[in-house]
Amino acid sequence: MILSLDLGSEIPIYQQIRDQVVVAVATGELAEGSALPSTRQLAGDLGINFHTVNKAYDLLRREGLLLLTRKSGAVVRRDPHSGPPEGGFAEEWAGRLRTLLAEAAAQGLDGPTVLAACTTTVNGFRAGQTATDDEGGVR
């Protein structure tokens, strides 16, 4: 997968990394078991400090998406078929969804437009993973 950073953004670098890994897992681009570059290597490729990459990986580990070991490096732990998320996630996530959708509504986007954007985005994820959906083989 290819990571692109915007160093001039107000979004912290470690969060840009985290967000792009999350999207890659959602689309199926990163399946369960996929290996990510090491912290030092990715930092070198991106031209940033390895502590910053370490922070992003550590955040992904705490979210349950990455498994970090000394022998295998960084490996994707979950994918969209791994079953329900950990306790409390759905409620916290629904709260953030409410804020984000409220922002669009307050700015004048009407309901159908907002829901169409949601549907298109979610279907875009599934298109990326249903290619090998019949296999279902969890490695």
Partner DNA sequence: CAGCTGTTCTATAAGTAATAGAGCAGCTAG
Partner DNA sequence: CTAGCTGCTCTATTACTTATAGAACAGCTG
User: What residue ranges bind DNA (CB under 7 A)?
Assistant: 10, 12-15, 37-41, 48-52, 54-55, 57-58, 61, 68-71, 73-74
CA dist 28 and 34 (Å) reads 10
Tell me the closest approach of the beta carbon of residue 68 to its own copies, in angstroms. 17
Q: Number of helices (H) and strands (E), helices first, in the chain?
A: 5, 3
Cα→Cα distances 73→32, 42, 62, 66, 132, Å: 14, 12, 16, 10, 26
23 binds, among its own copies, DNA, none (CB under 5 to 8 A by kind): its own copies
What does residue 68 show for φ and ψ, rounded to 5 degrees? -110, 120
Tell me the closest approach of the beta carbon of residue 74 to its own copies, in angstroms. 15
26 binds, among its own copies, DNA, none (CB under 5 to 8 A by kind): its own copies
Q: Which is nearer to its own copies, 49 or 132 (CB)?
A: 132
